[in-house]
Structure 1
Amino acid sequence: MLFNNTATVGDEGGLKEYLGGIQKTMDWKTWKPFVAGAELTFIIPAIGQELYDELSQPTAGLDAAQKQLKDKLRMALAWYAYLDAMPSLITVTGDGGMVMNSVPNTQAMPKWLFVATVKSHQEKADRYLEAALAWLEWKADWFPTWKGSASFLIQKSQLISSASEATKYFPAIQKSRRLYLSIRDYFNAAEEEFIRPVLGAAFENYLKGKLAAPEVLFSPEEKEVLALARKAVVQFGFALAVPYLNMNTDLRLVSETDGIVNENALTGERLNIIRSNALAAGHEKAAELRNCLNAQASATVFPLYYTSDLYVAPVESGHVRRPKNDPSNPFYVL
């Protein structure tokens, strides 16, 4: 585990070093299952089993870079564990069933405070984990175990591989890892449905292969194509996901807990407008991508695309023929 096997959460290397607001002493064995569950749910999928195993060694045996990363991941892990533990820690469970503590001079947490606390913990955990992952990508050369792992190859071969990257091309995501994870499969679906038909399977696989090999440099033309493809993927993926997301006006995921509405969710009409706008933006970027490919492709630039059936030579006027518009779409590509 990323935390030491301590007697209490306040011991050196324990949870209390990373959590604010814990005034009471609590046994480590009370928190350990929640820490293990949070690692399994949030940390291991984000960094891969190989790097997790490396960082799980005693801190004294790690180098400076590993210690820095472990410390950053602990910040996120502590709040994820706290989040998972909250519903259970406010009750006492035994052979007699489940009851609530009634300590003198204390009272049960009201519902509104529970809801606000959950939202605050969730925001902290997501923000800290995204910051740790951004630092890991920045210092990737320091972690050969991670760069050689299956998790890294799968993650980096995706056009949109993190919340930070999604935010770069669609600022409304606001580096929210929770929102990114809710849309990630739709980004992958958008690649298959909208981008592969533009790039062609061979050229797409070539680009994704280079993404998974960060030591290989992209040419300026390839960087331009990747940027356009990513802009299109983010818009298409978001459009595919919108009907299944419950969001507020800040595009944050919201929910209803025990009859208490946490936020005012967007209306169906507003979601449809957002979806239509995202689809239109996606098709616009896909058209730009197609034009860019046809304008620059040659026997030496994008040769896989140039020799495919998708390539259309620019006409003498300098314009590229565009596909026919579908009357069923709520937009028109000029």
Structure 2
Amino acid sequence: MLFNNVLELKAHLGTVHRNLEPDTLLSFIGQAEALHLGPVLGEGLVAQLGNLPAEEAPAHLVALREKFRAALAYYVVLEAAPFLSVGFGDLGLVEARTEKAAPSRQWVYNNFVEAAAASADKLLDVALAWLDAHAADYAEELDSSEYRSRKSLLIGSAAQLGQYVATGGSRRFFLALLPTLRQVEEFEIGDVLGADLLEQLREGLAGGEQPSPETTKLLGLVRPVLAHRAFAQGVLSLSVALSGASLRLLTDNEAIRERQAASPAAVSALSQQAIATADRYQAKLVAHLDALTPTAAPQAVQVRDNTGSPTFWV
């Protein structure tokens, strides 16, 4: 595991009590790794980081482990907090209480776990962004079919998605939208570009070649359509919080999500706004494609009427 004792955890979360039983702690570390790190890093890389030798471990893996330890410490809090104040035995559930300490008040507990959830999510995004920036140093560890397949996507990174949608560049948000991005690219963008042009763009991105000015311009027209359509569809099934100038994908924790999540009406409004924005970008894309092939039959695109009436066709 990424943490092997209380002292390692305390280095990243100074409020951990010195009397915390190591065996109790380790059970929650395993749960946090499986639930929160495994889905974004892959079980193989998590296991590799957790099995580093105490001495002479590869420096690049030690550095990577430190980045993810920072987030994992707060995820351990989320998994442990509901269970540490009670004991389960022959008498059922017993609430812990001593002369010098008592269970926390409900509002203190709520603030504590909500702050832990926010810190964990933000630190995980920081660690993932760092890994992306240093991916060349981890070619062997990241050499998986899933990681390679993202190179051919028209939007293949959190930074690219964040240019068009208010995700704050969140890697977790990007990964959550990834299935929808693939679907929209395959069907909706494929219908607009045509199978041959779409495949040409994918091959160029997968090969890592420098795109021509014409290709760069085309990608600049395609990506906002893809981003807004995928967001409009995907956000309806995600739990998000409205946080300042960006959206934050919430931790998969029911109690925290209920208190922090944006209302269904707000999420629906965000989706509708993204559809309208995608329609406007798609009109520009279709006009560009028609200009490239003036002898071809004009394509139909659905756009919104600014007067507030339903859609019309051009």
- Superposition TM-score, scaled by structure 2 size: 0.81
SS in 2 for 1:93: strand
Question: Aligned-pair distance for 1:197?
Answer: 1.2
1:222 matched to 2:215? The reply is yes
Q: Please, which of 96, 111, 118 is the counterpart of residue 101 of structure 1?
A: 96
SS in 2 for 1:218: coil
Change over 3 Å in CA distance of 1:75–1:264 after alignment to 2: closer
Aligned mates of 2:303, 2:45 — CA distance in 1? 47
> Are the counterparts in 1 of residues 283 and 301 from structure 2 also a CA contact under 8 Å?
no
Aligned mates of 2:202, 2:54 — CA distance in 1? 35
Question: Which residue in the other structure is 2:294 paired with?
Answer: 314
One-letter identity of the residue aligned with 1:31: L
> Are the counterparts in 1 of residues 40 and 175 from structure 2 also a CA contact under 8 Å?
no
Question: Aligned-pair distance for 1:288?
Answer: 2.7
SS in 1 for 2:93: strand
Question: Aligned-pair distance for 1:60?
Answer: 3.0
> Are the counterparts in 2 of residues 50 and 145 from structure 1 also a CA contact under 8 Å?
no
SS in 2 for 1:118: helix
> Are the counterparts in 2 of residues 48 and 152 from structure 1 also a CA contact under 8 Å?
no
One-letter identity of the residue aligned with 2:259: N
Aligned mates of 1:165, 1:28 — CA distance in 2? 42
> Are the counterparts in 2 of residues 76 and 124 from structure 1 also a CA contact under 8 Å?
yes
Change over 3 Å in CA distance of 1:75–1:176 after alignment to 2: same
How is 1:108-257 mapped onto 2 (pairs within 5 angstroms)? 108-170=103-165, 172-176=166-170, 179-214=173-208, 216-245=209-238, 247=240, 249-250=242-243, 251-252=247-248, 257=255
More displaced stretch, 227-236 vs 136-145: 227-236
Question: Which residue in the other structure is 1:305 paired with?
Answer: none
One-letter identity of the residue aligned with 1:123: A
Question: Aligned-pair distance for 1:71?
Answer: 0.7
One-letter identity of the residue aligned with 1:280: A
Q: Please, which of 11, 19, 23 is the counterpart of residue 25 of structure 1?
A: 19
Question: Aligned-pair distance for 1:327?
Answer: 9.1
> Are the counterparts in 2 of residues 126 and 177 from structure 1 also a CA contact under 8 Å?
no
Question: Which residue in the other structure is 2:273 paired with?
Answer: 277
Question: Which residue in the other structure is 1:38 paired with?
Answer: 32
More displaced stretch, 72-81 vs 227-236: 227-236
1:79 matched to 2:74? The reply is yes
Aligned mates of 1:167, 1:79 — CA distance in 2? 25
One-letter identity of the residue aligned with 1:109: S
How is 1:287-302 mapped onto 2 (pairs within 5 angstroms)? 287-295=283-291
> Counting strand residues as a fraction of each chain, which structure ranks higher?
2
Change over 3 Å in CA distance of 1:57–1:186 after alignment to 2: same
Question: Aligned-pair distance for 1:138?
Answer: 1.2
SS in 2 for 1:145: coil
One-letter identity of the residue aligned with 1:219: S
- Superposition TM-score, scaled by structure 1 size: 0.77
SS in 2 for 1:72: helix
Question: Aligned-pair distance for 1:36?
Answer: 1.6
